[in-house]
A and B are shown apart, each in its own frame.
Chain A
Amino acid sequence: MTFNLTNIMVQFSKENLDKVEKIIQRYPEGKQKSALLPVLHLAQEQFTWLSSETMDYVASLLQLEPIEVYEVATFYSMYHLEPVGKHVFEVCQTGPCMVRGCDDIIDYIGEKLNIKPGETTSDGMFTLKLVECLGACGYAPMMQMGKHYKEFLTREKIDSIIEDCRAKSN
C-alpha cells in the first residue's frame, strides 16, 4: 500500500515502517484498521507518548479518520496521552497487591522521588502511575517498567531500581 504522508512532521523510522507493513498482513485484506493497537504501541515506543500529531500520523498511515485513532487511544490505559518521564513506574494497587503491602511501596516511591501519583520528576526522569491489576498477583507487590515487570517489591528493591535508572542515564 502507499502512504499519504504530506504535511505531517512525525515520521516512523524505516524499521518501524517495515514492521507496520508486516503487521497489516496479519489481517484479512482491507482490514488494516485491525493494526491500530499494535501500531500505536510502535508509535509510543518511538515517540514515548502519543501526541495528537502522532495519532494523526497513525491515522494517515492506516487510512483511517483521525477520530478512529483518538477514540481508541483514549480507551486503553497503556497509551500515554501526555509526556512521561524516561522511566515510568506503573504500580499495581488492586486488592491482591494491596494485601501484600503495595500502599507502602507507593508511598515510598512518592517520598523518594518527591512526586505524587500521576506526576513526573522535574528532571524528567521518573513518572509514577497507579494502575489496576497487571496479572502478577502471586508476585506482589509489583510494578511495570517499560516492557517488564518488577516483582516482590521492597523498599530496598525500589532503592536499587532507582539507582540503576540514574546510573544508566549518566
Chain B
Amino acid sequence: MGRKLLLDKEHVEGIRYFDTYRREGGYRSVEKALKTMSPDEITEEVKKSGLRGRGGAGFPTGMKWSFLAKPEGVPRHLVVNADESEPGTFKDRYLMEFIPHILIEGIIVSSFALGSNNSYIYIRGEYAWIVDILEQAIAEAHNNGFLGKNILGSGFDCDIHVQRGAGAYICGEETALLESLEGKRGNPRIKPPFPAVKGAWGRPTVVNNVESIAAIVPIINEGGDEYAKIGMGRSTGTKLISACGNINKPGVYEIDMTISVEEFIYGDEWCGGIANGKRLKACIPGGSSVPILPANLLLKTAKGEQRIMNYESLSDGGFQTGTMMGSGGFIVMDEDQCIVKHTYTLARFYHHESCGQCSPCREGTIWLDKLLHKLEYGHGKASDIDLLWNIQKNIEGNTICPLGDAAAWPVAAAIRHFRDEFEWHVTNAQESQVRNFGLAHYADALETVAG
C-alpha cells in the first residue's frame, strides 16, 4: 500500500550499481534537468512539490534554495548532510548503502539548480564502509558522463567529494557541519549570517539532508505538482521512517504520510506489531529528541482523532499532548521498558555530544545525566524530579543551536507523561533496580487494524 518513490527499486538485484540503476530508469532526471530546464525552473518545481527538509526540522527545501546568495564570481556549494546521528534514525544509511545512485543523481540535479560545481557529502565517520560505496557510485557516474566536465553537453561541470566526519552528533547541525568540513571542531556558528549567504569557506552554501536530495529525483521526473498530490496537507510526498525498538520488523520503510500510527505499528507491511506478544507502552516517533508519547496519546490525539504518520498530525496538541515527525526515527517501547532508564541513556547521550560552547547546554546536560543516573539507580529524591524539570526548562531556547532543545525535550516529555514512574523510582528504590514500573499509560494491542 502507498506509493514508493525512493525505495521502489530496493529489491532489484544490483541496484547499487550504475548499469542496473540506469536500466531501471536512473539518471533520467539529470537528462531532463540539464537538457530542458533552467536552474530557476528546477527550484520552482521543488517549491511546488512542498518538499520539507527530511533531516528533522522540516523546513521547505525550495524556500531554502531560494535564499541562496548569488554574488558574481563567488563559487557556491551544495553540501549534503549525511551525518545521520539522531538516536533511532538510520534511514539515510539505508538509502546510501543500497541505492547510492539516487543520492548521486539528486546531487547532480540540485547542484545544477544551485550552481555548485563542487558539491560535498559530509557523512558520519562511523559509516566508513558507505564511503567506499558512495565513492564507487561517484566513479561510475563519472565514467558514464554524468559527472565531470560539460555533463551531457550542457556546459555544466560538477564534481562530488565525500568527507568523513569522526564521531560527533553535533556535526549534523548545519553550521557545525560546515565547521567540521573546514577541518575544525564542530562548534555551531551564530546565525546570521546563514549558510545561504556565508557557508563553507565563507561562500554561499546550501546544506540539505540525504533524503531531501534523493527526493529531488522523483520531483523532477514527475513534476512538483504531481509530487505534492501524494500525502496529506503540508506533508507532501513520501517519508522514510526507520523503525526500531520492541517491534517484530525493525527496518526502513517508505510511507506516503497518510497511514495511521496504529497501522504503521501493527500492520504487517511495516513494524508488524510489538515483539514477543507484549503490549505497547510508549514511542518516540521522530528521533530521540522529539517528545515521547504514551501509547494512548500516540495512537489517538487528545481530541480522540486517529493519529496519522505526518508532520501535522504527529505535532497535533503541541508538546502537551503531541510530538513531532522529526527525522523519522521511530523508537517503540514495550511494557517491559523503563522510561526513567531510557531517558537516562538519552540524557547521557546529549551530555556526551554537547560541544561545550554554550553554558546552559554544557552544564545543563551534565546535570540531566547525573540526576537521571541517581533516579535510575535508586538514589533519587522526590525533589530531583522538580530539579530535572527546572534544568531542562533553563536549557531550552538558551543555546546557539538546537542541541540544547534536543536535550531538554526528551526529559520534559518523560516527566510530563510518566511522572508517576519517576516518583515510583524514588519510593521504591530497591525494586526499581530489578523491575520496571509499568501500570499506567498502557494501550492494549488493538484487535483489528484499520485499512
A95 contacts partner chain B, Cβ-Cβ < 8 Å:
yes
Q: Identify whether the interface residues of B are mostly helix, strand, loop, or mixed.
A: mixed
CB-based contact A140/B244 at 8 Å: yes
Which B-chain residue is minimally distant from A138 (CB atoms)? B250
Q: Which of B167, B201, B250 contacts A28 (CB 8 A)?
A: B201
Q: Which of B89, B181, B184, B342 contacts A135 (CB 8 A)?
A: B89
Interface pick from A3-11, A71-79, A117-125, A156-164? A71-79
Q: Which residues of B contact A81 (CB under 8 A)?
A: none
| Count of B interface residues, CB-CB < 8 Å | 57
Give the residues from 75 to 89 in chain A that come closer than 8 angstroms, CB to CB, to chain B.
Answer: 75-79
B32 CB, nearest partner CB in chain A, Å: 29
A33 to B118, CA, bound (A): 17
B408 CB, nearest partner CB in chain A, Å: 16
Which A-chain residue is minimally distant from B86 (CB atoms)? A133
A139 to B93, CA, bound (A): 12
Which A-chain residue is minimally distant from B288 (CB atoms)? A95
A33 to B184, CA, bound (A): 8
Interface pick from B65-73, B157-165, B215-223, B311-319? B157-165
CB-based contact B124/A135 at 8 Å: yes
Given A77-B168, A135-B93, A137-B329, also A96-B180 (CB < 8 A): no
Q: Which residues of A contact B166 (CB under 8 A)?
A: 37, 40-41, 76-79
A96 to B118, CA, bound (A): 36
CB-based contact A78/B125 at 8 Å: yes
A168 contacts partner chain B, Cβ-Cβ < 8 Å:
no
A7 to B349, CA, bound (A): 41
B416 contacts partner chain A, Cβ-Cβ < 8 Å:
no
B105 CB, nearest partner CB in chain A, Å: 21
A40 to B167, CA, bound (A): 12
B245 contacts partner chain A, Cβ-Cβ < 8 Å:
yes
CB-based contact A98/B129 at 8 Å: no
Q: Which of A36, A76, A94 contacts B125 (CB 8 A)?
A: A76
B185 contacts partner chain A, Cβ-Cβ < 8 Å:
yes
CB-based contact B345/A138 at 8 Å: no
| Count of A interface residues, CB-CB < 8 Å | 41
Interface string of A89-105 (1 = CB under 8 A from B): 00001111011100000
Q: Which residues of B contact A34 (CB under 8 A)?
A: 163, 181-183, 201
A144 contacts partner chain B, Cβ-Cβ < 8 Å:
yes
Q: Which residues of A contact B244 (CB under 8 A)?
A: 96, 100, 137-138, 140
Among B87, B243, B288, B334, residue most surrounded by chain A Cβ atoms (within 10 Å): B87
CB-based contact B129/A147 at 8 Å: yes
CB-based contact B185/A75 at 8 Å: yes
Q: Which residues of A contact B163 (CB under 8 A)?
A: 26, 34, 37-38
CB-based contact B168/A75 at 8 Å: yes
Which B-chain residue is minimally distant from A148 (CB atoms)? B129
Q: Which residues of A contact B242 (CB under 8 A)?
A: 137-138
Give the residues from 316 to 344 in chain B that come closer than 8 angstroms, CB to CB, to chain A.
Answer: 329, 331, 333-334, 337, 341-342
CB-based contact B167/A135 at 8 Å: no
Q: Which residues of A contact B86 (CB under 8 A)?
A: 133
CB-based contact A76/B333 at 8 Å: no
Which A-chain residue is minimally distant from B93 (CB atoms)? A135
A66 CB, nearest partner CB in chain B, Å: 14
CB-based contact B251/A94 at 8 Å: no
Which A-chain residue is minimally distant from B132 (CB atoms)? A147
Which A-chain residue is minimally distant from B182 (CB atoms)? A34
A28 to B117, CA, bound (A): 11
A76 to B170, CA, bound (A): 10
A77 to B244, CA, bound (A): 24
A77 to B183, CA, bound (A): 15
Q: List 4 other contacts, CB 8 Å, given A26-B118, A133-B86.
A: A37-B183, A68-B184, A94-B288, A137-B250
A-binding residues in B (CB < 8 A): 75, 84-90, 93, 118, 120, 124-129, 161, 163-169, 180-186, 201, 242-246, 250-252, 284, 288, 329, 331, 333-334, 337, 341-342, 345-346, 348-349, 352-353, 355
